[in-house]
Structure 1
């Protein structure tokens, strides 16, 4: 019953979403989030980044509560900011928002990837094997390693369909991170 109502509401909203414009503030919040993470000296500035992350998440929640998300890009931008949250609730919200983005626009270039990445990040938080192979961690020696992957959860074809690298490609990326140090 609830699924039928939710589907009907989504279908009724689609014509309005098609004419909606992206929220410029959400785009700017996402861009600031990504700019912070592109700094090669990030480790020296991490406390400042975490503080700005918290401010951005707070603002995203205010925009969400005010009904300011209308397009797939709005949901994606909000999800990416929330993905860098410190709590499981932040990451759960990121997963929900990215799922909505991918539902509103199945051809969105990054929403499906973020669905997979947020799911994997939740699994990491709960100390469960990830499914897609999007999360690397540093081991005790400081070496980047692919966080444990559940071997039967999804296939490489499933990963590729979501814009996620195959497991071999993900492992190669983790290995490359070690040579870039």
Structure 2
């Protein structure tokens, strides 16, 4: 459709704007040409978000691929609401069967939480200023939920951070983490989500409910919606 082709084009432009930084060492990012490129990228990002918002307002974004493209564009926003919008779009895409959208659902939730001065809950945001770390990070979410959300287990993340600290390049550290064995228990998550929400753990309960919905547990979607409204009201 026209909507799909427009969104796909915008996503390609979004990625192209970032390629200059992927292709050059971080030590050069303060050079005048990179500073100018970053400013242009910020302007382009804002324009793309405005264009996607018009499509959302018109009710034109439905397909999983389209929701994913829109989420990718909004995750490069500047404020908490951009990340929350990206999270919801990624969740819709993941519900529709879009594989990579699971990881984006997790990453955008963590990014939103950190922006509103809450600890990340899934564990997707790494910091390499000094020893690699993920703080602030609430590690209480079960690994089963992390895996359902397309994220690494705690042991995998610890392996990745150790590898970075030992001097491995990021891609090599990611590969090292991927070699850590993972056992899926497929234990139901909705019951744990409800218990967490009843115990006033809104963030943990919401994250587990999202994981349950993505694993197609019956009854999970309404729990996600109720918790999301509460999350948006209390944290935005």
Same fold (TM > 0.5): yes
Q: Does 1:47 align with 2:36?
A: no
Whole-Å separation in 1 of the counterparts to 2:103 and 2:125 = 12
Whole-Å separation in 1 of the counterparts to 2:93 and 2:64 = 4
Whole-Å separation in 2 of the counterparts to 1:99 and 1:151 = 21
Q: Aligned residue for 2:176?
A: none
Q: 1:25 to 1:145 in 2, by over 3 A?
A: same
Q: Does 1:32 align with 2:13?
A: yes
CA offsets, 1:108-133, max 9 Å, x none? 11122111111100111022111111
Q: 1:34 to 1:172 in 2, by over 3 A?
A: farther
Q: Aligned residue for 1:7?
A: none
Q: 1:174 to 1:55 in 2, by over 3 A?
A: farther
CA offsets, 1:76-132, max 9 Å, x none? 1101110110011111111111122222x1x31112211111110011102211111
Whole-Å separation in 2 of the counterparts to 1:132 and 1:37 = 25
Q: 1:29 to 1:149 in 2, by over 3 A?
A: same
Q: Does 1:115 align with 2:105?
A: yes
Q: Aligned residue for 2:153?
A: 166
Q: Does 1:68 align with 2:60?
A: yes
User: Helix, strand or coil for the counterpart of 1:52?
Assistant: helix
Q: Aligned residue for 1:13?
A: none
Q: Runs of at least 4 residues of structure 1 off by over 4 A?
A: 174-178
TM-score under structure 1 normalisation?
Answer: 0.74
Q: Aligned residue for 1:10?
A: none
Flag the structure with more relative contact order, 1 or 2, with Cα contacts below 8 A and sequence separation at least 6: 1
Unaligned runs of at least 5 residues, structure 2: 171-236
Q: Does 1:149 align with 2:141?
A: no
Aligned residues: CA RMSD: 2.4
User: Helix, strand or coil for the counterpart of 1:60?
Assistant: helix
Q: 1:84 to 1:170 in 2, by over 3 A?
A: farther
The higher radius of gyration belongs to 2
Unaligned runs of at least 5 residues, structure 1: 1-19
Q: 1:137 to 1:63 in 2, by over 3 A?
A: same
Whole-Å separation in 2 of the counterparts to 1:96 and 1:116 = 10
Q: Does 1:132 align with 2:127?
A: no
Q: Aligned residue for 1:89?
A: 81
CA offsets, 1:26-49, max 9 Å, x none? 112122222333432373232222
Q: Aligned residue for 2:69?
A: 77
